[in-house]
Structure 1
Amino acid sequence: MAAQTPVVRLTDPYEALAALEEAVPGLAELRRAEPARVDWAAAEARLGALLPGDFKLLAEVYPDLHFGDYMSLHTPWPGEEEAWAGAAAEEEEDVADLIDLADLGAVLAAYPAPGGLLTWGSSNQGDTFLWTTEGTGPEAWKVTVASRSGDWWHYNAGAVQFTADLISGALEPWGLPRVRPEVVALGGEAQTGERAPQVDGG
């Protein structure tokens, strides 16, 4: 499978989040007033794996985000950690079907197989964003893209840096559309019933 590698892989979660906030002007305005208290121990125990620090930080600092009227990251809400992890684990069959459809069963497998693919995001156009859960730990996991057009490829960075680089244009969006630097905080709508805040980065 083809792969892209960023000039610098951002291994510090705060640097990755800063890159995303730079890629989407005004995103920082949607930060929670106080970080969410996510029970990561419960989520990780149910999932059977530790999760990357950048993903955890994003979930604590922000509500659910939808970028460019296109892409969402599947982060857990406080109190729903085990349900979130259970839903992620139950996607094994869907991921396996994607792999079979692409005839990539010889090189890829769904989590919880060793090094298997675990979903962390999706688009409203049928694209799926996954981690390849291999390496020395979750900070070494890379992103794998399964586009609706049938393009599969790796990006040697974490989920938050991938999202930042996709929006900023720092990577080639093989099989994906260009993503506008706009964001909607879906959590605001879910909690208050009011129109969720939206930021247009132009």
Structure 2
Amino acid sequence: MTGLDRLLALVPPPASPVGADADWSRTERQLGLALPTDFTRTVRRYGDGVFCDDLYMYSPHHMAEINLGLLAGWSDMREQWPEEVPYPLHPEPGGLVVWGGDSAGGALCWITEGEPDDWETVHWQQRDGEFTPAGCGAPELLARLLERRVAEAAENCEEFDGPWFTPLRERVHVCLRLTEGPLPYAERLRLLRERLAPVQLRGGWANPDGARQDHFAATPSLWEITYETAYGHQIRITYPPAEEERVRTELLAAVGAMGCSVESGLSLDRATEWPEFAGGGSGTGTAAKG
């Protein structure tokens, strides 16, 4: 099984990948390198987007620019602390080229020794400043990192239905602040998921003091939801703009079923209130106002 086969088995690609038909020839000319076939095939299957809100591959529109900036920074770091950068940097022979990254500011790189299809990958983790060689190609490294995420979820007893990929599309981000309501958190969460089903569970966490945060997606609507008490009692949701009317109707009905009311509904992108709650008014969750 190839690295790409392994990745496809873990995470089904989107039916209509965003930017999948992009031309890599300009990027290859800018870098002065041909790119590995397994990488360009992977990008064509998934397009622009992110795995598990954490791992991503650069598109041809950004790869050359990202390499110019990041490699320059590593070059400066190597001059001061040579031991911190144990690899040559492109365009040095065999030098590192960046092809992706993670949500913690890390970078996924190739060691450009030999033929492109033989290049091995390195994961630079910003938090500890270490370069960790993976000994495999790009899709294989993605698969390994995602399998680690699945294993961590199982170890931590998270409610987790497996890894996912979110295509890069325009989305609206909204936060609803809620009253507490009479039901315990677990029952409110169950009712919320039930009203927005079918859902994919995407993990969460709980503090010793009982504060919680739970993530899930309403599929196939492409709504991504976080329900929590960790930073106030609230629902955070992202969705395609065309879904706004349906989101309001279904989400407010779900809040009503949970026995709660909405204190405010803020569109984070626009820094404006949902019309139902403009001016600081409250809503019942069972129906939208006005």
Among candidates 134, 143, 168, match of residue 121 of structure 2: 143
SS of corresponding position for 1:38: coil
Partner of 1:32: 16
Does the C-alpha gap of structure 1 residues 123 and 87 become closer, same or farther in structure 2, counting only changes over 3 Å? Answer: closer
What's the CA shift for 1:68?
A: 1.8
* Alpha carbons 2:56, 2:102 under 8 Å: kept: yes
Among candidates 141, 151, 165, match of residue 183 of structure 1: 165
- Distance of 2:80 and 2:164 partners within structure 1: 32
Partner of 2:5: 18
1:13-162 pair list within 5 angstroms: 15-24=2-11, 27-28=12-13, 30-32=14-16, 36-76=20-60, 80=61, 84-97=63-76, 99=78, 103-104=82-83, 107-135=86-114, 137-147=115-125, 148-162=127-141
What's the CA shift for 1:138?
A: 0.8
Does the C-alpha gap of structure 1 residues 18 and 54 become closer, same or farther in structure 2, counting only changes over 3 Å? Answer: same
- Distance of 1:120 and 1:23 partners within structure 2: 20
The two structures have a TM-score, normalised by structure 1, of 0.68
One-letter amino acid of the structure 2 residue matched with residue 121 of structure 1 = G
1:40-59 deviations in Å (ceiling 9; x for gaps) = 22221111000011111122
SS of corresponding position for 1:49: coil
Does the C-alpha gap of structure 1 residues 99 and 167 become closer, same or farther in structure 2, counting only changes over 3 Å? Answer: farther
What's the CA shift for 1:88?
A: 2.8
* Alpha carbons 2:18, 2:167 under 8 Å: kept: no
1:67-114 deviations in Å (ceiling 9; x for gaps) = 2222211122xxx4xx64344334320232455676436741211111
Partner of 1:177: none
Does the C-alpha gap of structure 1 residues 199 and 141 become closer, same or farther in structure 2, counting only changes over 3 Å? Answer: farther
The two structures have a TM-score, normalised by structure 2, of 0.49
Identity %: 26
- Distance of 1:113 and 1:98 partners within structure 2: 16
Q: Which structure has the highest strand share of the two? A: 2
Equivalent residues, number: 167
**Alignment gaps of 5+ in structure 2:** 153-161, 174-198, 204-290
Moved more, 34-43 or 149-158: 34-43
- Distance of 2:172 and 2:4 partners within structure 1: 27
Looking at CA atoms only, which structure, 1 or 2, has the larger radius of gyration?
2
Q: C-alpha root-mean-square deviation of aligned residues, in Å? A: 3.3
Does the C-alpha gap of structure 1 residues 31 and 98 become closer, same or farther in structure 2, counting only changes over 3 Å? Answer: farther
**Alignment gaps of 5+ in structure 1:** 1-9, 174-179
- Distance of 1:123 and 1:35 partners within structure 2: 20
Higher relative contact order (CA 8 A, sep 6+): 1
SS of corresponding position for 1:114: coil
